[in-house]
């Protein structure tokens, strides 16, 4: 395959997108009716792309594995969405959002893409309000903002702790309008099993109807993958149970390069693991760090007493608490970026200061925020500011209005009241910055196959800032892909419908059937989850928050062995032609078992530390991540060559024309 070409337009970074849009090919409204587009996934990226493509006039077929497009895991995003609106007048601008995102990503993302993202961010908010998304407002009726990690302005728009839900339901409603008009044909409970490439172009997909097991062929002039990230390779993550890498992995195996697989975000504030039965982890939104202060006890004897249940955290005096983020990073304090906050929590817990039975938890404390808000309220209402009980009650009401659903979630899971005692939190796998390599037009290395949202690698470099995933998903789907795809489809206006009787469809379908029949006839002795859990343990222990050469080499070997054992000994009950969750899961875990190896290989190759990728061999004396710009200012794009171990590395050099590459500091 040819050398990697990012197709970044020429000219100053601030003008690239405008110029590019003005020059690319368009498809006339009459011709759009002759063109079919497949979209896989209905999260923010997939739903917004489906709706917009249909509005433009394309015939869209959209697929999701859930029972309704509204269930996609974007729905669970809590804290908010960034936009450079500068409504607060605190000095925000497109440039500042662009700069913060590049810096937050530890200088490993593509400048032109990130600038475009910052440019369209403001349109997203306008669009969503017009759709009836009920963002939080102040008493003057205008939109409210909050702050997120790694920035010094308030640019995050939110709807309590359910921003993802409200944005997704907005995109879902836009889709519904087009489904009602017949411009989108929606396929619920369908899983993409493979992509079909004809004459070097993406021309369709093979799906399995999860209700009756039927294998189906679907053709189109272009295929858009919007299937999300691969955090579930760790088994335990904040992703939904069904979130998987399969669509992205299948296109990788048919020619799409996979970029930076080792760039994974471990989110600092999640509810700690409670036992071996655990099936997933629950996030506590980063927005909580606006008001919550993170600490562990200063004295080891206090830690011991807490673990034994002899001491309550509220009984520890202020001077005996170590607010370690405020101590280490005075400028950003509790709002340092996620990778920094996670490593700092691990550092304290590894040193023995973890506050729960497993030693893997720190406190997130709202006591001072409750008192601060309470005093303010008492003052506004003309009540006694020195009445502690009253102030506490008033403060709790404000905190409830801001984060009520998160506090309720915490209480249901942990069985403790976070209004009265600090939350216990610990880092967990949350998001994957790596993904399918795409050029500036969001096209993969398979012509006609696009990847958008978390499924691609493009905008977040080695670490994503909070509230930027929603922004990227909707930017890609509403405002970028619908334009850039026209440039490619302009050549297809005379092509006519693609036949599903082509030999390429037949071959792809036969391979899919062989794989699933293989699973059913295997009659092994271990369940699919048995393998998934084992894979997750390897990934967490050796490819998690810190990585080293020895561990990564072991991980590669262990994953290879586990994969071999999986094909020999996995047990998938039931039949092919029925609703069979275990069978669906087997296919997904098979792909994770391959991706996991490439992940470790990528992490081994990148001997520097950057963002969420921390190599123990590359750190400063203070334990901060140490980049190696001379040797690693590139995107690793892996080409599939028959097995993950044989994958070939291609490098996309990253050039910083607008922003000076510096050591990232939040001190």
Partner 1 sequence: MNLTLKVWRQAHKNAKGKMETYQMKEVSPDMSFLEMMDVLNEQLMAEGIDPIAFDHDCREGICGMCSMFINGEAHGPDRLVTTCQLHMRKFKDGDTITIEPFRAKAFPVIKDLTVDRSAFDRVQQAGGFVSVNTSGNTQDANAIPIDKHDADKAFDAATCIGCGACVATCKNASAMLFVSAKVSQYALLPQGKVEATDRVLNMVKQMDEEGFGNCTNTGACEVECPKGISLENIARMNREYLSASLKG
Strand 190-198 relative to strand 201-209, pairing: antiparallel
In the complex, the smallest distance separating the C-beta of residue 250 from partner 1, rounded to whole angstroms, is 21
Query: Is position 173 an interface residue for partner 1 (rule: CB under 8 A)?
Result: yes
DSSP 335: G
Query: Is position 177 an interface residue for partner 1 (rule: CB under 8 A)?
Result: yes
The candidate with the shortest Cα–Cα distance to 475, out of 487, 464, 486, 483, is 483
In the complex, the smallest distance separating the C-beta of residue 20 from partner 1, rounded to whole angstroms, is 16
Query: Is position 282 an interface residue for partner 1 (rule: CB under 8 A)?
Result: yes
Distances in Å between the Cα of 11 and the Cα atoms of 8, 23, 183, 202, 483 are: 9, 13, 37, 31, 19
Query: Is position 489 an interface residue for partner 1 (rule: CB under 8 A)?
Result: no
Size of the site for partner 1 (CB under 8 A): 82
Query: Is position 417 an interface residue for partner 1 (rule: CB under 8 A)?
Result: no
- Strands lying side by side in the sheet with 435-436: 435-436, 258-259, 634-639, 648-653
List of E strands, 339-492: 362-365, 423-432, 435-436, 449-451
- Name which of residues 418 to 437 contact partner 1 (CB under 8 A): none
The b/e string for 35-49 (b: 16+ C-beta within 10 A; e otherwise) is: bbbbbbbbbbbbbbb
In the complex, the smallest distance separating the C-beta of residue 388 from partner 1, rounded to whole angstroms, is 29
- What is the x/- site pattern for partner 1, positions 591-630, by CB under 8 A? ----------------------------------------
Distances in Å between the Cα of 275 and the Cα atoms of 280, 346, 415, 417 are: 11, 19, 15, 20
User: Of 361-369, 576-584, 620-628, 634-642, which segment contacts partner 1 by CB under 8 A?
Assistant: 576-584
Query: Is position 415 an interface residue for partner 1 (rule: CB under 8 A)?
Result: yes
Q: State CA 542 to chain mean position distance.
A: 21
- What is the x/- site pattern for partner 1, positions 133-172, by CB under 8 A? -xxxxxxxxxx---------------xx-x-xxx--x--x
Query: Is position 131 an interface residue for partner 1 (rule: CB under 8 A)?
Result: yes
Q: How many CB atoms lie within 10 A of CB 408?
A: 13
**CA dist., res. 351 & res. 133, Å (int):** 45
In the complex, the smallest distance separating the C-beta of residue 413 from partner 1, rounded to whole angstroms, is 7
Q: Which is nearer to partner 1, 357 or 557 (CB)?
A: 357
Place of tokens 């928050």: 545
User: Of 66-74, 314-322, 358-366, 373-381, which segment contacts partner 1 by CB under 8 A?
Assistant: 66-74
**CA dist., res. 110 & res. 113, Å (int):** 6
Element (H, E) at 638: strand 634-639
Query: Is position 269 an interface residue for partner 1 (rule: CB under 8 A)?
Result: no
- What is the x/- site pattern for partner 1, positions 77-96, by CB under 8 A? --------x-x---------
Q: Which is nearer to partner 1, 87 or 634 (CB)?
A: 87
625 phi, psi to nearest 5 deg: -65, 135
**CA dist., res. 419 & res. 438, Å (int):** 45
Query: Is position 483 an interface residue for partner 1 (rule: CB under 8 A)?
Result: no
In the complex, the smallest distance separating the C-beta of residue 65 from partner 1, rounded to whole angstroms, is 9
User: Of 62-70, 359-367, 419-427, 659-667, which segment contacts partner 1 by CB under 8 A?
Assistant: 62-70
Element (H, E) at 197: strand 190-198
Query: Is position 188 an interface residue for partner 1 (rule: CB under 8 A)?
Result: yes
The residues facing 264 across adjacent strands are: 432
In the complex, the smallest distance separating the C-beta of residue 412 from partner 1, rounded to whole angstroms, is 5
- Strands lying side by side in the sheet with 184-187: 184-187, 59-63, 36-40, 222-225, 449-451
- On whether the CB atoms of residues 301 and 268 are closer than 8 A, the answer is no
User: Of 73-81, 192-200, 548-556, 632-640, which segment contacts partner 1 by CB under 8 A?
Assistant: 73-81
- Name which of residues 2 to 61 contact partner 1 (CB under 8 A): 48, 51-52, 55
Query: Is position 206 an interface residue for partner 1 (rule: CB under 8 A)?
Result: no
User: Of 228-236, 330-338, 405-413, 553-561, which segment contacts partner 1 by CB under 8 A?
Assistant: 405-413
For the record, the structure tokens of 598 come out as: 């490439």
User: Of 304-312, 369-377, 411-419, 500-508, which segment contacts partner 1 by CB under 8 A?
Assistant: 411-419
Q: Which is nearer to partner 1, 394 or 409 (CB)?
A: 409
Binding residue (CB under 8 A) for partner 1 from 2, 89, 91, 279? 279
Query: Is position 253 an interface residue for partner 1 (rule: CB under 8 A)?
Result: no
Query: Is position 190 an interface residue for partner 1 (rule: CB under 8 A)?
Result: no
Catalytic annotation present for 33? no
Catalytic-labelled residue, pool 338, 588, 606, 615: 338
DSSP 275: -
**CA dist., res. 389 & res. 380, Å (int):** 17
For the record, the structure tokens of 53 come out as: 């493509």
Q: Which is nearer to partner 1, 189 or 372 (CB)?
A: 189
The residues facing 222 across adjacent strands are: 37
User: Of 236-244, 256-264, 373-381, 534-542, which segment contacts partner 1 by CB under 8 A?
Assistant: 236-244
Place of tokens 């750190």: 619
3-state secondary structure of 401: helix
Query: Is position 126 an interface residue for partner 1 (rule: CB under 8 A)?
Result: yes
Q: Active-site positions?
A: 338
């Amino acid at each position: 395959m040819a050398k990697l070409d990012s197709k970044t337009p020429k000219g100053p970074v601030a003008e690239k997108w405008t110029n590019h849009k003005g020059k690319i090919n368009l498809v006339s409204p009459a011709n759009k009716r002759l063109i079919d587009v497949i979209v896989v996934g209905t999260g923010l990226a997939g739903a917004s792309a489906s709706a917009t493509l249909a509005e433009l006039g394309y015939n869209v077929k959209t697929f999701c594995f859930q029972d309704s497009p509204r269930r996609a895991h974007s729905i669970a995003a809590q804290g908010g969405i960034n936009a450079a609106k500068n409504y607060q007048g605190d000095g925000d601008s497109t440039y500042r959002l662009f700069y913060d995102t590049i810096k937050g990503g530890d200088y490993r993302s593509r400048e032109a893409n990130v600038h475009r993202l910052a440019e369209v961010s403001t349109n997203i908010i306008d669009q969503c309000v017009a759709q009836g998304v009920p963002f939080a407002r102040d008493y003057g009726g205008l939109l409210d903002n909050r702050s997120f990690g790694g920035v010094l302005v308030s640019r995050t728009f939110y709807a309590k702790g359910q921003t993802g839900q409200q944005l997704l339901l907005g995109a879902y409603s836009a889709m519904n309008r087009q489904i009602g008009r017949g411009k989108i044909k929606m396929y619920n409970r369908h899983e993409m099993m493979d992509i079909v490439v004809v004459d070097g172009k993406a021309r369709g997909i093979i799906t399995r109807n999860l209700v009756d097991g039927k294998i189906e062929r679907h053709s189109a002039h272009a295929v858009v993958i919007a299937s999300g990230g691969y955090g579930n390779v760790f088994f335990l993550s904040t992703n939904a149970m069904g979130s998987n890498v399969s669509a992205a992995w299948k296109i990788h195996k048919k020619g799409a390069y996979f970029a930076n697989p080792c760039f994974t975000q471990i989110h600092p504030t999640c509810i700690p693991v409670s036992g071996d039965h655990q099936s997933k982890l629950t996030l506590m939104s980063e927005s909580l760090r606006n008001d919550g202060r993170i600490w562990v006890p200063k004295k080891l004897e206090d830690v011991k007493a807490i673990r034994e249940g002899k001491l309550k955290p509220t009984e520890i005096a202020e001077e005996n608490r170590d607010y370690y983020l405020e101590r280490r990073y005075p400028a950003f304090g509790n709002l340092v970026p996620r990778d920094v906050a996670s490593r700092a929590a691990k550092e304290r817990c590894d040193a023995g200061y973890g506050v729960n039975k497993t030693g893997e938890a720190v406190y997130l404390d709202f006591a001072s925020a409750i008192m601060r808000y309470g005093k303010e309220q008492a003052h506004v209402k003309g009540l006694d500011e020195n009445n502690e009980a009253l102030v506490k009650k008033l403060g709790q009401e404000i905190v409830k209005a801001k984060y009520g659903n998160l506090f309720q979630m915490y209480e249901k899971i942990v069985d403790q009241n976070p209004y009265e005692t600090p939350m216990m939190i610990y880092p967990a796998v949350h998001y994957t910055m790596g993904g399918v390599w795409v050029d500036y037009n969001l096209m993969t290395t398979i012509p006609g196959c696009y990847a958008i949202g978390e499924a691609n690698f493009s905008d977040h470099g080695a670490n994503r800032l909070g509230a930027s995933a929603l922004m990227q998903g909707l930017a890609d789907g509403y405002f970028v892909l619908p334009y850039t795809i026209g440039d490619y489809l302009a050549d297809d206006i005379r092509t006519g419908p693609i036949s599903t009787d082509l030999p390429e469809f037949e071959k792809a379908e036969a391979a899919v059937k062989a794989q699933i029949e293989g699973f059913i006839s295997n009659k092994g002795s271990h369940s699919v989850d048995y393998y998934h859990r084992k894979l997750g343990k390897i990934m967490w222990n050796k490819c998690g928050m810190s990585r080293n050469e020895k561990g990564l080499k072991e991980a590669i070997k262990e994953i290879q062995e586990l994969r071999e054992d999986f094909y020999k000994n996995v047990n998938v009950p039931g039949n092919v032609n029925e609703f069979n969750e275990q069978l669906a899961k087997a296919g997904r875990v098979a792909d994770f078992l391959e991706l996991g190896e490439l992940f470790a290989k990528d992490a081994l190759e990148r001997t520097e530390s950057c963002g969420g990728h921390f190599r123990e061999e590359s750190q400063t004396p203070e334990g901060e991540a140490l980049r190696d710009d001379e040797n690693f200012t590139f995107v690793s794009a892996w080409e599939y060559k028959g097995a993950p171990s044989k994958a070939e590395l291609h490098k996309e050099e990253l050039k910083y024309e607008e922003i000076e590459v510096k050591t990232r500091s939040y001190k």
